Amino acid sequence: MAPPLSLVFLVLAAVSLSASAAAAVLPRGAVPAKSGYLPIPSANASLYFAFYEATEPIGPYLFAGGSNGSGGGSLSPNPFAWNRRFGLVFIDSPLGTGFSVAPSPAAIPTNQSVVAEHVLAALQSFFALEPSFRARPLYLTGESYAGKTIPAAGSLADTSHEPEVTAHADIAYFMGLINGKQKREAEAMQAKAVELVKAERWSEAYLAREGLLGWMENASGVASLFDVEEKRSMLEVAAALVPLLNGDEVKAALGARGDVEWKMCSAAGLASREMIEDWVFGDGLFASGGGNH
């Protein structure tokens, strides 16, 4: 069976009880698999969360507004519970809502930017509890006031990536692929690529990073940075696809036109340079700490 989808819901209400105490007052399935508090270092505070693993399996679900908790107090068993397919994280947000007690009135957020920062900090704290969750797709969704918080948190996540390109030299050095002098050369090339990105000189930034990767392959002597144990280059490995995908039987099976020749690299690559800004981000010049790219 295919692995379950993942989802993290951020909700403005939840329940915190020990397993034994919870079993006495909550129906089976209502007791969270994990619960507690997620540190928000910048606020010296924490947001309460309750996590429910999927029964078949992460996503934030935000609802209610401002200082209001959620739920009307009317509960009944639901045979179509959300966590049949998704793991759910319910988070009391913003600070001061539900079980998320603000350390002082001044700590209660007064704008969406701060709320978004707290939500993302809480998610990082949650993923630190269970690093394996980072491999799952993450969905932010909700209702009511979440219509303001989710776009703010999503926008912040999209623009707060760390420059991944600056890790190349360290990774190669500590894997023993380059020496100290070469590491310093690579660091200088990395810095140049990041400088070009900050200047929004996308084509030059992309070429600078490609130049860095090519230099590292030559300096280290590896055939491919995608797999340093591979003895053949990526192009050599992929070349086997050309005769396979150009075979008449394969084209017919794939429903492809018989008169079209499949190529590893085509003229479309030249036209796609118009999307160079997307390349810069998609190829990892900027990438978040654990997520999927």
Sign of CA dihedral 40, 289, 150, 72: negative
Are residues 177 and 266 both part of a single domain? yes
Domains in the chain, number: 2
pLDDT of residue 142 exceeding 60, the answer is yes
**Average pLDDT over the chain, rounded to whole?**
73
Are residues 185 and 272 both part of a single domain? yes
Share of the chain above pLDDT 70, in %: 69
Task: Dump pLDDT digits (tens) for 162-199.
Answer: 656 788 899 899 999 999 999 999 999 999 998 988 88
Residues 29/81, Cβ–Cβ less than 8 Å: yes
Task: Dump pLDDT digits (tens) for 7-60.
Answer: 334 433 333 334 444 444 455 666 777 788 888 888 888 888 888 787 654 555
Give the pLDDT of residue 6.
34
Q: Which residue has the tokens 């739920």?
A: 71
* Structural domain containing residue 220: 164-282
Are residues 145 and 177 both part of a single domain? no
Give the pLDDT of residue 285.
46
Helix (H) and strand (E) counts in the chain: 11, 5
Give the domain-ending residue among 117, 135, 159.
159
Confidence of residue 258 (pLDDT cuts 50, 70, 90): confident
3-state secondary structure 209-229: HHHHHHHHHHHHCCCCCCCCC
Are residues 63 and 154 both part of a single domain? yes
Give the pLDDT of residue 286.
41
Tell me how far apart the terminal alpha carbons of the chain are, to the nearest angstrom. 24
Are residues 192 and 92 both part of a single domain? no
- Please list the helix, strand and coil fractions of the chain in percent, rounded to the nearest 5, in that order: 45, 10, 45
Are residues 147 and 225 both part of a single domain? no
Share of the chain above pLDDT 90, in %: 12
Are residues 253 and 141 both part of a single domain? no
Q: Which of 64, 78, 251, 34 is nearest to 149 (CA)?
A: 64
pLDDT of residue 264 exceeding 90, the answer is no
Q: Which of 134, 140, 135 is nearest to 153 (CA)?
A: 140
Residues 142-159: what's their mean pLDDT? 79
Confidence of residue 211 (pLDDT cuts 50, 70, 90): very high
Helix 180-198 and helix 202-220, axial crossing angle in degrees, nearest 10: 170
Residue 6 resides in a domain: no
Coil vs helix vs strand at 49: strand
CA–CA separation, 287 and 293 (whole Å): 7
Are residues 122 and 208 both part of a single domain? no
Residue 292 resides in a domain: no
Confidence of residue 233 (pLDDT cuts 50, 70, 90): confident
Give the pLDDT of residue 261.
83
Are residues 174 and 124 both part of a single domain? no
Task: Dump pLDDT digits (tens) for 48-100.
Answer: 888 878 765 455 544 434 444 444 444 566 677 777 677 888 888 888 777 78
CA–CA separation, 218 and 156 (whole Å): 37
Are residues 170 and 110 both part of a single domain? no
